[in-house]
């Protein structure tokens, strides 16, 4: 696509390019220099893409990517904690993932006296590795296509009947496949319910921290550089998965041993060059690329601006407290980073939707679909009303969009309410006529773990202020008839003073005091729990949502899901020669592309790689986001990079690829055509924040840590050469 003049981007060529990318024109007026890298493909079906992958530089056979009967790349990939990806890089179960993926675990293992988050940590022996309580990894055992069976069962059912039948089939099929095993079996729908697959996982709960660089390396650039290129962030950390002596999953025990994996990735020290083949295997979280124009308009005009505003309130409040106290900064660091990440994401997404005129192009796509459907009576009957049905569903749901958004982003966002809501199962048990002591004990034991996790990093003053500010904003923005009853109490009893209300709630609720809450758990009773102010508030909020908002949301989802399924079905029928990939849904996918530079704006050209010189240039001891450890600065000044430098003496730090990823791919391995590890993905670029909704063929990039920078930090800075000894390092090019 480099042959397309940039001067035509905002004119007629833009429309033609989009028609070509979307496969909507019978004539293709624009030719690409290389095929687009769009797509998150199912490993089970990767043979469909194999010829294109081979032409671009893949040197492996399809069965070396995904196989059930022999070792393959998929056996080296782990679903890390259920929210990120990691890869096995040694025969002793060593896991490489992002620093931000291990952030919570590193924070939990840190204290003010031993701040592993700030100062880094490196275990010199396996005995020094730190158990990360609650962390787990999942290995994909196999994928099973159950589409035909499900379609035979559901027949022509639609709406709620179809949903209910699918739920029943999901339970039946997963239980059949699980049998007497300890596997975790998940039933997944693709293309809004046109195809169905079962994913079988093996879960290992004993994961230990092995090494992590200083936060100023792993998070270098902070919020300023988040989603931005060029980047100089060493976003990586090392863990190890342990198994029982028999090699099977087992809870933590000092008798456990490092897992012997079916496959591990060799590390390439060959480096990358422009246009090199690159592929990523991982667990992308969620994309919604088949939404209609009207659905995108609601995101752009209503829900995204609301999310940005509400998250900004939380971030400004936490930052106020974090700036005042280093201990609070450590305490709130993980929560702040998580909220800030998607605050910036929603800003970038709206910016991209506007720049790309995505809604306008979707409308053009839908008009062409409508014309195609009208050309045949059978197609008209099946697909003719699909787009209009979605428009009507959006119009009916529009008055409730803000209330649905505020429910998650404001009304249950304060941490005290999140904790209180987790006590709802205990309330249900206690309100039974004759609750069994065993049932109460199990429920209480589970809640004790939640309480420990909550208060470990809890800062009451910040949470109290957040609650007051968010509730005040909700009062200003939401229709009165959609607000919970508590707001009427604040109007009358507290004269609309949300800060006074929050002060009283926190003073009286046991959920604000660990000692009081633990005393309650020692002798739980329904009356005390039900009358607690935080529990009363969260139940009022929840009941209001489930009675007034959720039915509208459920109706909207049922109507749009049914029509989106038909829409995609029609698009696939309309373009029989085009391959369609399903939206991401936290299942393993393969994406492939090239190492490639890009030009995001007029007179701006970005190189495909950054080097350690950029760290030196960005270093600012007065800005916490750009502090560089003294020992790293000394190595850079001396150019003491060891075997990890390029032939020109430079040390690569990050590089970009055209690979198609989203949240959940964080920590995913970037692999060359020989199946060797060349980097790990950690971010997308700001100019393509629309990626979850539409792929940008000109600007979409994955930002990756170069594996040579990772190895340099481990070797030269941490002095942890014993870890490199575990790995298989491939030198030369």
Indicate which residues carry an active-site annotation: 100, 235, 666
| Three-class DSSP category at 242 | strand
Instruction: Give the whole-angstrom CA distance, residue 564 versus residue 550.
Output: 20
Q: How crowded is residue 325: how many other Cβ atoms within 10 Å of its Cβ?
A: 12
Q: Encoding tokens for residue 562? A: 């049914």
Written as six digits, the tokens of 110 are 């840190």
| Cα gap 123→239, rounded to integer Å | 10
Q: What is the DSSP string of 444-477?
A: HHHHHHHHHHHHHS--HHHHHHHHHHHHHHHHHH
CB burial class (10 A; 0-12, 13-18, 19+) of residue 732?
Answer: exposed
Rounded to an integer, what distance in angstroms lies between the CA atom of residue 401 and that of residue 629? 46
Token representation of residue 626: 């750009």
Of 711, 714, 648, 725, give the one whose Cα is nearest residue 678. 711
Show the tokens assigned to 458.
């809890």
Closest CA to 521 of 413, 432, 429: 429
Sequence-separated contacts (24+) of 426-430 with Cβ below 8 Å:
426/524, 426/529, 427/526, 427/529, 427/530, 427/535, 430/524, 430/525, 430/526, 430/529
DSSP state for residue 581 in the 8-state scheme:
P
In total, the chain counts a number of residues equal to 733
CA 499 to chain centre: 34
Cα separation, 600 vs 602, whole angstroms: 7
- The answer to whether 80 and 105 are in contact (CB under 8 A) is no
Nearby residues of 288 by Cβ (< 8 Å), 6 or more positions away: 583, 692, 693
Alpha-carbon Rg for the chain in angstroms: 26
d(CA 517, CA 413): 20
* Short-list 667, 643, 662, CA closest to 730: 643
131's enclosing H/E stretch is strand 130-131
CB 468 within 8 A of CB 501: yes
Contact 610, 228 (CB under 8 A): no
Which residues in 385-544 belong to E strands, given as ranges?
none
């Amino acid at each position: 696509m480099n042959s397309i003049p940039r001067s035509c981007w905002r004119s007629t060529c833009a429309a033609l390019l989009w028609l070509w990318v979307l496969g909507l024109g019978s004539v293709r007026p624009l030719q690409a220099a290389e095929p687009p890298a769009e797509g998150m493909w199912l490993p089970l079906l990767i043979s469909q893409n194999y010829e294109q992958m081979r032409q671009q530089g893949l040197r492996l056979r399809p069965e070396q990517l995904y196989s059930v009967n022999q070792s393959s790349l998929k056996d080296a990939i782990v679903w890390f904690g259920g929210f990120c990806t990691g890869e096995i890089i040694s025969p002793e179960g060593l896991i490489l993932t992002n620093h931000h993926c291990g952030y919570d675990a590193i924070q939990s293992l840190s204290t003010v006296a031993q701040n592993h988050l700030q100062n880094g940590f490196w275990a010199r022996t396996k005995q020094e590795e730190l158990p990360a309580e609650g962390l787990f990894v999942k290995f994909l055992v196999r994928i099973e296509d159950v589409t035909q069976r499900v379609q035979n069962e559901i027949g022509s059912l639609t709406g709620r009947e179809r949903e209910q039948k699918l739920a029943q089939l999901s339970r039946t099929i997963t239980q059949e496949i699980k049998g007497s095993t300890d596997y975790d079996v998940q039933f997944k729908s693709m293309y809004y319910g046109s195809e169905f697959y079962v994913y079988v996982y093996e879960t290992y709960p004993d994961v230990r921290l092995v090494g992590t660089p200083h936060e100023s390396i792993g998070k270098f650039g902070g919020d300023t550089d988040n989603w931005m290129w060029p980047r100089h962030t060493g976003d990586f950390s090392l863990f190890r998965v342990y198994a029982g002596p028999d090699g099977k999953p087992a809870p933590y025990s000092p008798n456990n041993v490092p897992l012997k994996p079916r496959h591990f990735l060799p590390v390439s020290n060959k480096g990358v060059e422009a246009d090199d083949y690159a592929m990523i295997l991982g667990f992308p979280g969620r994309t919604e690329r088949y939404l209609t124009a009207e659905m995108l308009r609601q995101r752009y005009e209503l829900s995204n601006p609301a999310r940005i505003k509400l998250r900004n309130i939380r971030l400004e409040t936490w930052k106020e407290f974090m700036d005042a106290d280093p201990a609070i900064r450590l305490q709130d660091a993980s929560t702040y980073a998580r909220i800030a990440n998607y605050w910036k994401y929603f800003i970038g997404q709206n910016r991209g939707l506007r720049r790309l005129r995505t809604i306008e192009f979707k409308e053009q796509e839908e008009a062409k679909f409508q014309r195609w459907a009208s050309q045949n009576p059978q197609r008209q009957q099946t697909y003719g009303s699909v787009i209009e049905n979605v428009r009507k569903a959006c119009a009916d749901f529009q008055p409730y969009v803000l209330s649905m958004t505020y429910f998650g982003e404001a009304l249950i966002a304060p941490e005290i309410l999140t904790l209180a809501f987790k006590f709802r199962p205990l309330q249900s048990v206690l309100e039974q006529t004759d609750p069994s002591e065993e049932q109460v004990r199990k429920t209480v034991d589970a809640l004790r773990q939640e309480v420990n996790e909550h208060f470990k990093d809890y800062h009451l003053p910040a949470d109290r202020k957040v609650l007051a500010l968010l509730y005040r904003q909700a009062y200003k923005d939401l229709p009165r008839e959609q607000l919970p009853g508590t707001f009427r109490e604040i109007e009358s009893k507290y004269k609309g003073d949300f800060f006074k209300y929050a002060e009283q709630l926190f003073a009286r609720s046991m959920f604000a005091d660990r000692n009081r809450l633990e005393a309650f758990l020692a002798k739980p009773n329904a009356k005390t729990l039900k009358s607690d102010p935080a529990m009363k508030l969260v139940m009022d909020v929840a009941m209001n949502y489930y009675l007034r908002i959720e039915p509208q949301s459920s109706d909207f989802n049922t109507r749009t899901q049914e029509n989106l399924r038909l829409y995609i079905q029609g698009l696939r029928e309309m373009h029989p020669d085009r391959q369609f990939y399903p939206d991401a849904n936290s299942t393993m996918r393969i994406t492939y592309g090239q190492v490639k530079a890009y030009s995001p704006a007029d007179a701006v050209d970005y190189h495909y790689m950054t080097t350690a010189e950029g760290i030196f240039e960005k270093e600012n001891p007065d800005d916490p986001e750009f502090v560089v450890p003294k020992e790293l600065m000394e190595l850079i000044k001396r150019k003491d990079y060891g075997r990890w430098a390029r032939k020109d003496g430079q040390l690569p730090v990050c590089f970009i690829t055209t690979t198609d990823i989203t949240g959940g791919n964080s920590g995913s391995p970037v692999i060359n055509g020989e199946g060797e590890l060349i980097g790990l993905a950690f971010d997308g670029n700001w100019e393509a924040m629309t990626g979850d909704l539409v792929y940008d063929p000109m600007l979409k990039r994955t930002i990756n840590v170069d594996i040579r920078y990772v190895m340099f930090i481990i070797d030269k800075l941490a002095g942890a050469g014993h870890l490199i000894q575990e790995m298989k390092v491939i030198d030369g090019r």
